């Protein structure tokens, strides 16, 4: 885990501690690359590292790129049944509240338009922290 990733986790720690009696899990992976507009790419599934029972209350998400985000970039955070457009490179959502906490998440990246992306958009890393009860 990089220092920056550790910092994100530490910044979220007070929010995780507030959920006393509840649980959380965290997963991260390397990202994908996009070389053309009008094409989508998805991350590897971000799954719980241990057996989880309960329902989601909130999901904290974060991704980082190797370069400046290209114009018209759209990023979604998804489960098998739902996708939510995320705004910015980190944040929190309760859009998945009530869904099973044991399901994996994945990111989907796309850049509207046509043609080659230069430089190629490379995702350095993606992370989720899932709070559940």
CATH number at residue 62: 2.60.120.260
| pLDDT surpasses 80 at 27 | yes
Phi-psi category of residue 6: left, alpha or beta, with phi > 0 → left and psi -120 to 50 → alpha: alpha
pLDDT digits (tens, 9 = 90+) for 101-120: 999 999 999 999 999 999 99
Q: What is the pTM of this model?
A: 0.82
In the chain, the number of structural domains is 1
Q: Output the pLDDT for position 16.
A: 46
Answer whether 43's CB lies under 8 Å from 29's CB: yes
Q: 24: domain range? A: 3-132
Q: Output the pLDDT for position 31.
A: 83
Q: Average pLDDT, whole number, for the chain? A: 88
Q: Output the pLDDT for position 8.
A: 52
Q: Output the pLDDT for position 45.
A: 96
**DSSP percent split of the chain into helix, strand, coil, nearest 5:** 10, 50, 40
Q: Output the pLDDT for position 7.
A: 47
Lowest mean pLDDT among 14-23, 98-107, 122-131: 14-23
Q: What are phi and psi of 88, to 5 degrees?
A: 90, 180
Answer whether 57's CB lies under 8 Å from 19's CB: yes
């Amino acid at each position: 885990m990089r220092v920056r990733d550790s910092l994100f986790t530490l910044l979220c720690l007070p929010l995780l501690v507030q959920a006393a009696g509840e649980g959380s899990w965290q997963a991260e992976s390397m990202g994908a690359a996009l070389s053309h507009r009008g094409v989508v790419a998805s991350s590897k599934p971000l799954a719980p590292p241990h057996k989880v029972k309960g329902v989601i209350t909130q999901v904290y998400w974060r991704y980082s790129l190797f370069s400046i985000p290209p114009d018209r970039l759209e990023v979604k955070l998804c489960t098998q049944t739902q996708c939510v457009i995320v705004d910015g490179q980190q944040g929190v959502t309760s859009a998945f509240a009530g869904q099973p906490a044991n399901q994996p998440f994945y990111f989907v990246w796309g850049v509207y338009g046509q043609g080659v992306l230069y430089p190629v958009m490379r995702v350095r890393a993606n992370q989720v922290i899932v709070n559940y009860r």
